[in-house]
Structure 1
Amino acid sequence: MSDRRRNGTRDRLIRVATGLFRRRGVAGVGVGEICAGAQVTKGVFSHHFPGGKDELVVAVVDRNGADVSGQLAAFGSGDAADSVQALFRAYASAMRLKGNDFGCPVAAAVVDGATSTAPAISAANVAFDRWRVILGERLGDDDMGALVVAALEGAILLARAEKEPATLERVGDALAQLIEPATRSAG
């Protein structure tokens, strides 16, 4: 099997799992369903993820963590409060486009402690920490970076529960109002 084909299959498994984990959480999705969505057999799945679903969860968290890090870096230009507002609005737009159940696969890896593994928790911690650092650098305060990550994840949960993406916008607007004076005085 060529490397491109092998990587394509692995990428497809990660992409399918990411979508399913976003909507139903890690515990709510089985390997058979992931294989069906990716149009592969369980043998092919095992070839790409010999550590099973636990290894796939870490790959999903790593991939999404890196993707979001790139997106956060793109929000780095302009006013800090405007950047935070844009971040929350972007997620609200994605939720409107993809459905009210569009959650965070990184959070999904740790939210159900009964099924979370140490490697998945560690990978999620790395992703969240990377986001916190990027935002902290942008906002001039590491604690503010942590606040934005926590507020975003909480707003995603509220928006899903309410089936209302506008919740993300309201939280982002309120957070931007809190951040603006703090970043102005730090600058």
Structure 2
Amino acid sequence: MDTKSLMIHTATALFQQKGYKTVGLNEILKACNVTKGALYHHFPNGKEELLIACLNGLKETITAEIETIIRGHKSTKEATQAILDKLIYNLETEGTITGYTFSSIVSEMATVSEPVRRACSALYENIQHIYAAKLVTDGFSSESASDLALMLTASIEGAMMLCLTQKSTDPLKTIAKRLPHLFE
């Protein structure tokens, strides 16, 4: 892995585990075993630019994962269940769902930094677009699909945050039982 990718990968994990404001540059540098000069070579504007690169990386990873699951199921209802099952499994086996949620970053930074807010917004919009496109193929109108996609995104993201704060899979299991009724 090249230095820039290593910094993005490492910083993403640290930001998700500890929060953006808690993680200092020195911690990132130490974890990557790189110098400050290397960081500023790749990210001239520093930590916030690195965060945006992390969010863009999450956007690609999360988008690819959701698209793969969506394509593998004939309906949004089945695909959503598969996504929830995967999240529950990850939480039960790994004790976390790092890599899928970025709400902690949003809550810390979206009101402080316009570039970070835009990066977070783009990620959420991308997720909603994937759901909406699948819902249209299921026969929902564009407007209904858009509304349902918003509800799916908000429900799943909110449930992930509740799972992490409660150290329980119950919130995801609850929405796994209730969300299928949205598609009726």
TM-score range for the pair, normalised by the shorter chain length: 0.7 to 0.9
The residue type equivalent to 2:87 in the other structure is Y
1:70 CA displacement? 0.9
The equivalent position to 1:152 in structure 2, one of 145, 156, 160, is: 156
1:170 and 2:174 correspond = yes
Cα separation, 1, equivalents of 2:25 and 2:172:
31
In structure 2, what residue type is equivalent to 1:74? T
How far off is 1:63 after superposition?
Answer: 0.7
1:65 positional shift: 0.8
- Within 5 Å, which residues of 2 pair with 1:29-108? 29-76=23-70, 77-100=73-96, 102=98, 104=100, 106-108=102-104
C-alpha distance in structure 1 between counterparts of 2:170 and 2:161, whole Å = 12
Give unmatched runs, 5+ long, in structure 2: 137-144
Root mean square deviation, CA, Å: 2.0
The answer to whether the aligner puts 1:126 opposite 2:135 as a matched pair is no
Q: Percent identity?
A: 25
Mind listing any 5+ residue stretches in structure 1 that lack a counterpart?
A: 182-187
Query: TM-score normalized by structure 1?
Result: 0.85
Confirm whether residue 143 of structure 1 aligns to residue 137 of structure 2: no
Q: What is the aligned length?
A: 174
Retained in 2: the 8 A contact 1:96–1:165?
Answer: yes
Q: Distance in 1 between matches of 2:94 and 2:119?
A: 25
TM-score by length of 2: 0.86
Shift of 1:100: 3.6
